[in-house]
């Protein structure tokens, strides 16, 4: 597999994505929005990307993948985020669960699930956060106990995006009680249609529904649906989160409204605003370079835990500052849910929570630094 994507290949991929998103916008099939990777769900759009080989791009051909590099995949994800395209149907499976199964899953699990993610027949939600656990992912109370032919799952997850649309859930569960809370955790793939899975909506302040609560009552999980080693889920999930934290969505979630602000500043004589916007543009260039370094690390077989945590920490600060800068402009004076600023403002409280709080990220960075 060639891990060194030529510039021509990346440029061709960017052109292809721009052509698709432009055609869909001109046909009125979607409107660009902030936080599209989490909030804009359109199965038909994801299916079109799948037909073009733009999902599972880095995976082996035997599982339906394109055997491209993570650098090429980054070129595609950057263009989709810049266009505010409706990518939520495939984003979690393509970004995070597929790579985790490829890295740690059994051959049976890989053959079963990976081709379904590539074709968008499998839609994943994340069963990580739990009530009263805050941002402490290791405070898992959901349990999985051995059963004939597999496991029985019992517990309660919350803030589970698109669980009401998902066909499968990634679930982190406790399979052993130990004195150390990071031990005894195991990762599973669960059918959302299985008996005992219950989904309740959480509607946000704007009336949108993508969050859910999910309860598992004695849900059977076949033995082969374990991802990796039983009881070693914490080490694996930290690696997996580097896929979640190290992507371009950590710096480009608000890009549609950021682009509007750049265009607005260019037409104004407000020199102070131009200085602020210029500083943000410079920071974005540095953050994009970090994204490329994470992609290159993945291409060389590494799990860039520290780089991904640093990218998310700095990316969160950047996106918050974009919101604050917008408040200085006409774009931010009357936020409504139909405006790009209103959508970005609504999403902004989540920037510092999903994928780990600032304290968790700084702890990861410090631990990795002391090991170096």
Catalytic positions: 244
Distance CA 188, CA 227 (A): 6
Strand partners, 215: 156, 198
Are 307 and 297 contacting, i.e. CB atoms less than 8 angstroms apart?
yes
Distance CA 283, CA 320 (A): 13
User: Tokens 């589970």 label which residue?
Assistant: 160
Are 144 and 175 contacting, i.e. CB atoms less than 8 angstroms apart?
yes
Please tell me the number of Cα atoms within 13 Å of 190 on its side-chain side. 34
For residue 105, what are the CA distances in angstroms to 225, 271, 311? 8, 55, 27
Q: How many CB atoms lie within 10 A of CB 344?
A: 26
Strand partners, 241: none
> How many Å separate Cα 30 from the centre of its chain?
20
């Amino acid at each position: 597999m060639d891990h060194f994507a030529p510039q021509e290949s990346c440029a061709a991929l960017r052109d292809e994505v721009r052509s698709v998103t432009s055609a869909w916008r001109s046909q009125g099939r979607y409107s660009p929005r902030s936080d599209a990777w989490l909030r804009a769900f359109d199965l038909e759009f994801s299916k079109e990307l799948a037909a073009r080989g733009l999902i599972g791009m880095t995976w082996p051909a035997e599982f339906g993948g394109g055997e491209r590099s993570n650098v090429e995949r980054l070129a595609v994800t950057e263009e989709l985020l810049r266009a505010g395209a409706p990518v939520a149907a495939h984003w979690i499976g393509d970004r995070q669960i597929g790579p985790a199964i490829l890295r740690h899953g059994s051959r049976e699990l890989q053959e079963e699930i990976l081709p379904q993610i590539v074709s968008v027949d499998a839609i994943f939600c994340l069963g990580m956060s739990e009530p009263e656990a805050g941002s402490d992912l290791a405070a898992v109370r959901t349990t999985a106990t051995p059963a004939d032919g597999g496991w029985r799952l019992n517990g309660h997850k919350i803030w589970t995006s698109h669980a009401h649309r998902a066909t499968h859930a990634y679930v982190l569960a406790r399979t052993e009680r130990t004195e150390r809370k990071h031990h005894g955790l195991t990762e599973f793939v669960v059918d959302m249609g299985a008996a005992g899975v219950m989904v309740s909506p959480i509607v946000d302040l704007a009336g949108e529904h993508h969050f859910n609560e999910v309860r598992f009552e004695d849900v059977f999980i076949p033995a082969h649906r374990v991802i990796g080693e039983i009881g070693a889920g914490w080490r694996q999930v930290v690696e997996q989160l580097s896929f979640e934290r190290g992507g371009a969505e950590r710096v480009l979630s608000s890009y549609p409204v950021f682009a509007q602000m750049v265009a607005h500043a260019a037409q104004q004589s407000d020199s102070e605003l131009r200085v602020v916007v210029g500083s943000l543009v410079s920071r974005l260039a540095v953050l994009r370079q970090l994204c490329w370094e994470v992609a290159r690390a993945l291409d060389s077989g590494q799990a860039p835990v520290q780089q991904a945590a640093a990218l998310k920490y700095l990316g969160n600060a950047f996106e918050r500052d974009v919101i604050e800068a917008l408040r200085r402009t006409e774009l931010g004076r009357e936020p409504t849910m139909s405006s790009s600023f209103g959508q970005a403002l609504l999403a902004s409280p989540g920037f510092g929570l999903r994928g780990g709080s600032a304290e968790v990220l700084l702890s990861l960075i410090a631990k990795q630094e002391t090991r170096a």
